[in-house]
């Protein structure tokens, strides 16, 4: 996916790609490095370079990032005497070794800018300032050490520390947040950098899906450059998928879509991508003035309105920039509610609430952050055909050449609820989870035996009580099995467990399965965090009182049998003893499922719909596509979304009352045309017959542009601001575009006049140019993209004098090959 993602970023106006380096991905075993496949960072950096973009490499090596353990390899915990992220010799040794490894690798591959490569900046640590006070003086010493250590690596490009107000002199401290215009670096000699503009947010299992309106993001970015910003990075511009068990936590979902301008599947999120592209173009039109002036001139325009002006002295301007504007300005209205009329250099400007207008020549508004002219795209994850239903060829669903989604049959295999390998061991006491699993699996089986006397049984019967399993504190999931039956589950982050259980006279098998769902990735003292149980683990309510289970002998078994036998790989799956699954079989817990499926035709990204399942993990052709879980988001909290005012992560959330994630991305590069092996491990029970493979694409696009909108940013150049005549000739335009490989198959709605409603609900207003549909169809149908000028003459004259006319269009996109390749 990398070349396409990089190309889409460049087209969106990015100059620099920023990426973290994931230590635990690159060094899964101490001193055994992995720079292959998805971890081939050299290849990635080279691709960025060859596409003409720069790169900011955030080495960390602590990175946070909703990534397992914040990027730390779990083996780091086992180094004697280690304390993370503080003045601790064992930690500093390991950190230095890894950072040096990466810097040396980049240098060897000639990837720094002074070597002709794309890397212009590095990062050491990550938001350490947020936790520094927890470490006292040793924290302060660590910051100084980290800075010195980084510099001594002689990378020859600047280093940043984000959220680090006390960053030493030679390191640039940078801002992370939803807004950073009010941030100032800790020295006037440092540029104002914004390393993370959170243009969306991540989601947790059972949480709502965060969305940040593009008008507010554009406002935040424009404000940053208005107030002297020099480098800004979207976090995330593309977030993608946390495949395997790389999602952090606790409880972060597999998708890292982040509501980013490029969605999880690599498709553009519109209007986000398009509106920000215009913003970038507008800011770049101001470039000659922006780069020539150290700080802008501030002009108060009203109680909540202000201008910042970048004005180059004529002489300076003519020698430095040659062709361009000598004056650029940003006009802001910070009022959350009202439009403001302001006078700036003798002209009146209307500023919508919570918006910034950009004037590259201090006169002409080329962009306003709150006015979105970019197209909206509505994506469908289509073809609701379960993998396994008998569909006769005559059914209409088959017509569109989608027969390929149907595999043959499902096979099943039970996971043993007991020890399954010689690797088990027995010891007295309750062990900490990660000390045993080393995070090689989410799962730790803990098995013991409870002897129940006849007196206990009669005690329970007489008092009508049952014994209770009680654990002081537990994370993330506990499954409790008594005599082979799953009798309870507890989910939470360090929560108390009180679970009544039924025991029989004599020996009872008690199995406690502790699970992690992504290791903690944020905060101080991660090495001490651990998982599993804390405090007392006991059974209460016996005749003689309590049983302290830490005095018992426990047998420990790490992981699932199927997981360690790798029955999800093509070779090993054949050796396992699968049996046929009959349709209608009742849901079964702790069960493996396998099938084969054909890839959907065409090039669209592929999604696996696991909405019928419970919780588990999935693999395709041996690739771990991630954890899945149909945990449902709260019903409430998804109200109307107003872009105005400060954003916070619960504002504008969507998907209330639905599972947080049901679609799981299967990259095309992991698929072959047919016979793809799909293996699932299911914990709580689901119906595999309802699983389907779908293809994701943008099927509907809409746009609305009025004749008062600014002309298309693509048509401006610096010289236009000198030649006033060419400026007058420019008209607003509507740009429509289907995903690559798709064309506009039909225009569903078009009205030039005073149309009403919004995408998929447009209707004609009182004023309507009768030839709207015909004209738009002629310009767009059958094309991958088209441009329509918003001008009376383009629609056969003014349909209603005295009104501001708007063109609203809704179009359908379809694969370019649909008509030529329909075989059915």
Which residues are tagged catalytic? Answer: 127, 196
H runs (alpha helix) in 109-259 = 136-152, 214-226
Kindly write down the DSSP assignment for every residue of 298-366, as one continuous string: EEEEETTEEEEEEE--HHHHHHHTSSS-SEEEEEEE--SS--EEEEETTEEEEE-TTEEEEETTSS---
Contact 357, 330 (CB under 8 A): yes
Show Cβ contacts of residue 719 under 8 Å, excluding neighbours closer than 6 positions.
Answer: 323, 726
CB of 147 to ligand GAL, least distance (A): 18
Query: What span, in angstroms and rounded, lies between the C-alpha atoms of 243 and 608?
Result: 13
Interaction residues for ligand GAL, span 802-821 (CB under 6 A): none
User: On the CB side of 634, how many CA atoms lie within 13 Å of its CA?
Assistant: 11
How many DSSP H helices and E strands does the chain contain? 17, 36
Q: Which is nearer to ligand GAL, 65 or 734 (by Cβ)?
A: 65
Least separation in angstroms between CB 375 and ligand GAL = 28
CB of 20 to ligand GAL, least distance (A): 7
Dihedral pair phi/psi, residue 109, rounded to 5°: -85, 5
Size of the chain, expressed as the number of residues it contains: 824
d(CA 115, CA 108): 10
CB-nearer residue toward ligand GAL: 98 or 556: 98
CB nearer ligand GAL, residue 65 or residue 738: 65
Nearer to ligand GAL, 374 or 524 (CB): 524
Per CB under 6 A, which region of 64-72, 103-111, 309-317, 436-444 contacts ligand GAL?
64-72
Tell me the pairing of strands 231-235 and 193-198. Answer: parallel
Q: Specify the 3-state DSSP secondary structure of 460.
A: helix
Span of 58-66, 204-212, 565-573, 798-806 interacting with ligand GAL by CB under 6 A:
58-66
Are the C-beta atoms of residues 309 and 290 closer than 8 Å to each other? no
Tokens representing 124 are 């050491």
Would you say 554 and 532 are in contact if contact means Cβ atoms under 8 Å apart? no
Tell the smallest beta-carbon distance from residue 183 to ligand GAL (Å).
14
- What are the backbone dihedrals phi and psi of residue 140, each rounded to the nearest 5 degrees, phi first? -65, -40
- Residue 286 lies near ligand GAL (rule: CB under 6 A): no
Please name the residues in contact with 315: beta carbons below 8 A apart, sequence gap of 6 or more: none
Containing H/E element for 11? helix 2-11
Q: Which of 17, 47, 48, 64 binds ligand GAL (CB under 6 A)?
A: 64
Smallest distance, ligand GAL to C-beta of residue 251, A:
14
Site for ligand GAL in 716-735 (CB under 6 A): none
Q: Quick one: 256 or 533, whose CB is closer to ligand GAL?
A: 256
Name the residue nearer to ligand GAL (CB basis): 202 or 405. 202
Q: Which of 822, 750, 477, 752 is nearest to 627 (CA)?
A: 477
CB 678 within 8 A of CB 619: yes
Nearer to ligand GAL, 63 or 512 (CB): 63
Distances (CA, A) of 703 to 227, 275, 747, 790: 31, 12, 12, 12
* Residue 342 or 517 having the CB closest to ligand GAL: 517
Q: How far is the CB of 65 from ligand GAL (least distance, A)?
A: 4
Q: In the bound complex, which residue of the shown chain has the CB atom lying closest to ligand GAL?
A: 64
- What phi and psi values does residue 374 have, to the nearest 5 degrees? -65, 155
Q: Which tokens go with 63?
A: 């990175």
**What is the closest distance, in whole angstroms, from the C-beta atom of residue 63 to ligand GAL in the complex?**
6
Contacting range for ligand GAL; rule: CB under 6 A; set: 61-69, 266-274, 420-428, 663-671: 61-69
Nearer to ligand GAL, 163 or 412 (CB): 163
* Smallest distance, ligand GAL to C-beta of residue 176, A: 5
- The candidate with the shortest Cα–Cα distance to 560, out of 668, 472, 680, 471, is 680
Tell me how far, at minimum, the Cβ of 126 lies from ligand GAL, in Å. 5
Q: Do the beta carbons of residue 736 and residue 703 sit within 8 Å?
A: yes
One symbol per residue from 137 to 176: x for binding ligand GAL (CB under 6 A), - otherwise; what is it? ---------------------------------------x
Give the span between the Cα atoms of 64 and 69, in whole angstroms. 7
Report, in Å, the least distance between residue 529 CB and ligand GAL: 16
Q: Is 126 in the site for ligand GAL (CB under 6 A)?
A: yes
**CA nearest neighbour of 644 among 265, 320, 220:** 220
Window contacting ligand GAL (CB under 6 A); options: 57-65, 72-80, 180-188, 669-677? 57-65
Closer CB to ligand GAL, residue 72 or residue 795?
72
Virtual torsion, Cα 123, 128, 129, 130, nearest 10 deg:
130
Asked if 176 and 137 touch (Cβ cutoff 8 Å), the reply is no
Distance CA 328, CA 334 (A): 19
| Minimum distance from residue 269 beta carbon to ligand GAL (Å) | 17
Calculate the CA 191 to chain-centre distance: 28
Choose one: 63-71, 272-280, 608-616, 759-767; the region binding ligand GAL (CB under 6 A). 63-71
Identify the residue among 27, 83, 127, 278 touching ligand GAL (CB under 6 A).
127
What are the beta bridge partners of residue 448? Answer: 510
Output 12 or 71, the one with its CB closest to ligand GAL.
71
Parallel, antiparallel or unpaired: strands 305-311 and 297-302? antiparallel
* Residue 196 vs 259, nearer CB to ligand GAL: 196
**Cα separation, 236 vs 699, whole angstroms:** 24
Q: How many residues belong to the site for ligand GAL (CB under 6 A)?
A: 9
Among 62, 91, 112, 202, binds ligand GAL (CB under 6 A): 202
Q: Which is nearer to ligand GAL, 63 or 276 (CB)?
A: 63
**Cα–Cα dist 269/377, whole Å:** 7
Is residue 47 within 8 A of residue 226, CB to CB? The reply is no
Q: Shortest CA distance to 627 belongs to which of 486, 521, 518? A: 518
* Per-residue binder mask for ligand GAL (CB under 6 A), 426-455, x = binder: ------------------------------
Stretch that binds ligand GAL, among 40-48, 60-68, 292-300, 772-780 (CB under 6 A): 60-68
Shortest spacing between CB 525 and ligand GAL, in angstroms: 17
Q: Does 66 bind ligand GAL (CB under 6 A)?
A: yes
Q: Could you give the CA distance from residue 467 to residue 544 in angstroms, rounded to a whole number?
A: 12
Site string for ligand GAL, 90-119 (x = CB under 6 A): ------------------------------
- Minimum CB distance to ligand GAL, residue 242 (Å): 12
Stretch that binds ligand GAL, among 62-70, 135-143, 271-279, 460-468 (CB under 6 A): 62-70
- Residue pair 688/612 in contact (Cβ under 8 Å)? The answer is yes
Q: Which residues bind ligand GAL (CB under 6 A)?
A: 63-66, 126-127, 176, 196, 202
């Amino acid at each position: 996916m990398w070349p396409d993602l990089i190309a889409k970023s460049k087209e969106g106006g990015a100059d620099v790609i920023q990426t973290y380096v994931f230590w635990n991905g690159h060094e899964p075993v101490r001193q055994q490095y992995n720079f292959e496949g998805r971890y081939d960072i050299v290849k990635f950096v080279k691709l960025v370079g060859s596409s003409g973009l720069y790169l900011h490499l955030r080495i960390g090596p602590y990175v946070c990032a909703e990534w397992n353990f914040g990027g730390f390899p779990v083996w780091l915990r086992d180094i004697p005497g280690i304390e993370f992220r503080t003045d601790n010799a064992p930690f500093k040794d390991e950190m230095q070794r890894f950072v040096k490894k990466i810097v040396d690798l980049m240098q060897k591959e000639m990837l720094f800018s002074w070597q002709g490569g794309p890397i212009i900046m590095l990062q050491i640590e990550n938001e350490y300032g947020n936790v520094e006070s927890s470490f006292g003086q040793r924290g302060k010493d660590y910051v100084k050490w980290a800075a010195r250590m980084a510099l001594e690596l002689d990378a020859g490009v600047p280093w940043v520390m984000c959220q680090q107000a006390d960053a030493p002199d030679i390191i640039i401290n940078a801002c992370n947040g939803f807004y950073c215009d009010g941030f100032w670096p800790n020295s006037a000699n440092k540029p104002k950098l914004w390393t993370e503009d959170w243009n969306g947010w991540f989601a947790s299992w059972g949480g709502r899906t965060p969305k940040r309106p593009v008008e507010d993001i554009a406002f935040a970015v424009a404000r940053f450059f208005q107030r002297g910003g020099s480098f800004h990075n979207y976090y995330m511009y593309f977030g993608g998928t946390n495949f395997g068990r790389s999602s952090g936590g606790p409880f972060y979902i597999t998708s890292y879509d982040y509501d980013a301008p490029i969605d999880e599947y690599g498709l553009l999120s519109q209007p986000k991508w398009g509106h920000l592209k215009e913003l970038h173009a507008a800011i770049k039109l101001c470039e000659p003035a922006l780069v020539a002036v150290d700080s802008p001139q501030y002009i108060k325009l009203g109680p909540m309105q202000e201008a910042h002006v970048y004005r180059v002295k004529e002489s300076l301007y003519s020698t430095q920039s040659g062709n361009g504007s000598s004056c650029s300005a940003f006009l802001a209205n910070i009022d959350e509610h009202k439009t403001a009329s302001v006078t700036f250099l003798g002209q009146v400007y209307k500023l919508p609430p919570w918006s910034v207008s950009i004037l590259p020549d201090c006169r002409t508004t080329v962009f306003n952050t709150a006015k979105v002219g970019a197209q909206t795209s509505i994506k469908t994850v289509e073809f609701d055909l379960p993998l396994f239903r008998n569909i006769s060829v005559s059914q209409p669903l088959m017509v569109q050449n989608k027969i390929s989604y149907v595999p043959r049959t499902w096979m099943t295999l039970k996971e043993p609820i007991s020890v399954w390998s010689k690797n088990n061991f027995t010891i007295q006491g309750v062990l900490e989870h990660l000390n045993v699993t080393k995070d090689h699996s989410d799962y730790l089986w803990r098995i013991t035996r409870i002897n129940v006397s006849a007196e206990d049984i009669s005690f329970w019967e007489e008092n009508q009580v049952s014994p209770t399993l009680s654990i002081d504190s537990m994370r993330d999931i506990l499954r409790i099995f008594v005599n082979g039956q799953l009798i309870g589950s507890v989910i939470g982050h360090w929560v108390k467990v009180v679970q009544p259980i039924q025991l029989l006279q004599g020996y009872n098998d008690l199995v406690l399965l502790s699970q992690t769902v992504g290791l903690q990735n944020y905060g101080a003292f991660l090495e001490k965090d651990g998982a599993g149980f804390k405090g007392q683990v006991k059974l209460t309510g016996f005749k003689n009182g309590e049983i302290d289970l830490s005095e018992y002998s426990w047998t420990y078994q790490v992981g699932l049998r199927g997981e360690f036998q790798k029955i999800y790989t093509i070779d090993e799956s054949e050796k396992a003893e699968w049996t046929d699954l009959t349709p209608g079989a009742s849901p079964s817990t702790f069960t493996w499922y396998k099938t084969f499926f054909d890839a959907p035709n065409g090039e669209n990204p592929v999604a696996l719909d696991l909405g019928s399942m419970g919780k588990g993990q999935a693999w395709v052709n041996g690739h771990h596509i991630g954890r899945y879980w149909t945990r449902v988001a709260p019903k409430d909290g998804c109200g109307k979304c107003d872009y105005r005012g400060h954003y916070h992560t619960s504002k504008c959330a969507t998907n209330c009352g639905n599972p947080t994630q049901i679609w799981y991305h299967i990259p095309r590069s992991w698929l072959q045309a047919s016979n793809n092996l799909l293996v699932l491990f299911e914990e709580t029970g689901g119906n595999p017959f309802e699983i389907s493979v779908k293809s994701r694409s943008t099927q509907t696009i809409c746009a609305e542009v009025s004749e008062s909108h600014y002309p298309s940013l693509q048509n401006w150049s610096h010289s236009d601001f000198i030649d006033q005549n060419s400026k007058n000739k420019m008209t607003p335009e509507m740009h429509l575009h289907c995903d690559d490989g798709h064309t506009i198959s039909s225009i569903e709605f078009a009205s030039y006049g005073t149309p009403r409603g919004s995408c998929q609900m447009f209707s004609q207003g009182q004023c309507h140019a009768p030839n709207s549909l015909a004209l738009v169809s002629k310009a767009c149908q059958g094309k991958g993209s088209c441009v329509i000028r918003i001008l009376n003459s383009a629609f056969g004259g003014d349909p209603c004098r005295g009104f501001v006319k708007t063109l609203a269009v809704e179009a359908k996109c379809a694969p370019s090959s649909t008509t030529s390749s329909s075989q059915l």
